[in-house]
Amino acid sequence: MRLLHISDTHGRHKELQRLPDAYILVHSGDFTLDGKEQEAIDFINWLCDLPHRHKIFIAGNHDLCMYDAGIYGLPDNVHYLNNSHVTIEGLKIHGMPMFPEDIITGDDIKHTEAIPDDADIVVTHQPPMGILDLSEGTNYGYMFLLARITTISPTYHLFGHVHDSYGMTRIGNTVFSNAAILDEDYRPVNKPRLLDLNKK
């Protein structure tokens, strides 16, 4: 079973032509540029039309219109994860968005601590501190997230946010994937990442 990971498309999702086939497609947030509702609707309609068996998405810090938004009427195979999880073929996939409001209130700490111990795949927008989070000499990852991921050791941690740290690495039992499609100049230079979920 294969998973296709993308992130940080910022309104340029329709430029992703001939996406590889996969059972699950995951978008790790920042699907809008300006955080407007119409941008989100356009992305969700595009996502729903993709042929992948299951489609999962979370919100990033650009996706401001998604904060406290009620998402209704999605097809059964399209999953918006907002500090929630879905189980697909026995894999528990937990998604945690990145909203500036949560950072201001400190709710991001609460949401991080609530990531389930038994999550197989964790989807966030922000990276964990020190892992595929470097931009111009500064680490933009989240220390509390690093601590939580280190504790629960999921098989995969999928994120984006830091455009110029696109890449993949394994640390211990966890594969970390930053699949930001756009670079720091918002050019679509990076490829969607295919992961074989049958390989541990």
Which pTM was predicted?
Answer: 0.96
With CA atoms as reference, report the closest residue to 154 among 126, 193, 103, 117. Answer: 117
pLDDT tops 90 at residue 65: yes
Helix H or strand E encompassing 170: strand 167-171
With CA atoms as reference, report the closest residue to 144 among 107, 113, 179. Answer: 113
Domains of the chain, residue spans: 2-196
CB atoms within 10 A of CB 52: 20
Q: Which residues of 168-187 are buried (b: 16+ CB within 10 A; e: fewer)?
A: eeeeeebbbbbbbbbeeeee
CATH homologous superfamily for the domain 2-196: Metallo-dependent phosphatases (3.60.21.10)
d(C-alpha 193, C-alpha 191), whole Å: 6
pLDDT digits (tens, 9 = 90+) for 8-50: 999 999 999 899 999 999 999 999 999 999 999 999 999 999 9
Find out whether 172 and 159 touch, Cβ atoms under 8 Å: no
Q: How confident is the model at residue 150 (pLDDT cuts 50, 70, 90)?
A: very high
pLDDT tops 90 at residue 200: no
Residue indicated by tokens 């500064």 = 138
Give pLDDT, residue 98. Answer: 96
Give pLDDT, residue 102. Answer: 92
pLDDT tops 70 at residue 164: yes
Give pLDDT, residue 83. Answer: 97
Token duo for residue 119:
């999550």
With CA atoms as reference, report the closest residue to 135 among 168, 160, 100. Answer: 160
Q: How confident is the model at residue 199 (pLDDT cuts 50, 70, 90)?
A: low
Q: Which residues pair with 156 in a beta bridge?
A: 121, 175
Report in angstroms the alpha-carbon separations of 196 from 52, 61, 116, 133, 156.
15, 28, 23, 23, 11
Mean pLDDT to the nearest integer, 122-135: 98
d(C-alpha 13, C-alpha 187), whole Å: 12
Q: How confident is the model at residue 70 (pLDDT cuts 50, 70, 90)?
A: confident
Give pLDDT, residue 198. Answer: 77
